[in-house]
Amino acid sequence: MLSIDLNRDYVKQTTSKSRIRFQDCDPLCHLNNAKYFDYFFNAREDEISDLYGFNLADVFQAYRAGWVAYSQKISYVRSALPGELVTIHSRVIFADEKMAVLEYLMSDESDTKLKSVLWTTIKYIDLKAGKSTTHPPEIQGFFDKILYHEANYENVDFETRVKHLIQEYKKK
């Protein structure tokens, strides 16, 4: 059941740990490039259920609408290796009436070595019409509550953001 309480304070960033599976790695024993997406998306889906009290299926069912990936920008900074425990962060760095941008970070277990950065742009789609639609007020209000302003999305491009994050991780 979908329940968004706009009077509640929500965390702006999700964080979880995941172990890199051997089956997800290429012959060079690096996480396959396409598999980064699975690790990022699965971590976020698990965390929003725990932290925000609903899952994506609740949104689809309640509003007969949901998000589809529109574009992706990814940077592979350092390889993730089989058996390695990684830290995955995700946050909403932009949201307007019809779309949102999520930022994902993967780092080592101690969260001191950045491995990958992903920006995913998602569009809100009416499932029946198959067309973009506007977020209902409570969804937009929820985005406003969880928006991670520190990414400075509207004033920085992806490549500049990645360089900034690399520098931040070097300071850790």
Q: What is the pLDDT of residue 152?
A: 93
For 11-51, the pLDDT digits (tens) are 999 999 999 999 999 999 999 999 999 999 999 999 998 89
What is the DSSP annotation of 74-96?
A: EEE-S---TT-EEEEEEEEEEE-
Q: What is the pLDDT of residue 80?
A: 98
**Residue linked to tokens 């990936």:** 69
Residues of the chain with pLDDT under 50: none
Q: What is the pLDDT of residue 73?
A: 98
Q: Where are the domains of the chain?
A: 14-170
Cα distances (Å, whole numbers) of residue 126 to 130, 137, 161 = 5, 15, 32
Domain spanning 14-170, CATH class:
alpha beta
Q: What is the pLDDT of residue 75?
A: 98
Q: What is the pLDDT of residue 1?
A: 55
Question: What SS3 class is residue 129?
Answer: coil
- Inter-residue contact 87 to 17 (CB < 8 Å): yes
Rounded distance between C-alpha atoms, residue 96 and residue 69, angstroms: 15
Going through the chain in order, the beta strands assigned E by DSSP cover 14-19, 65-76, 85-95, 99-108, 114-126, 131-132
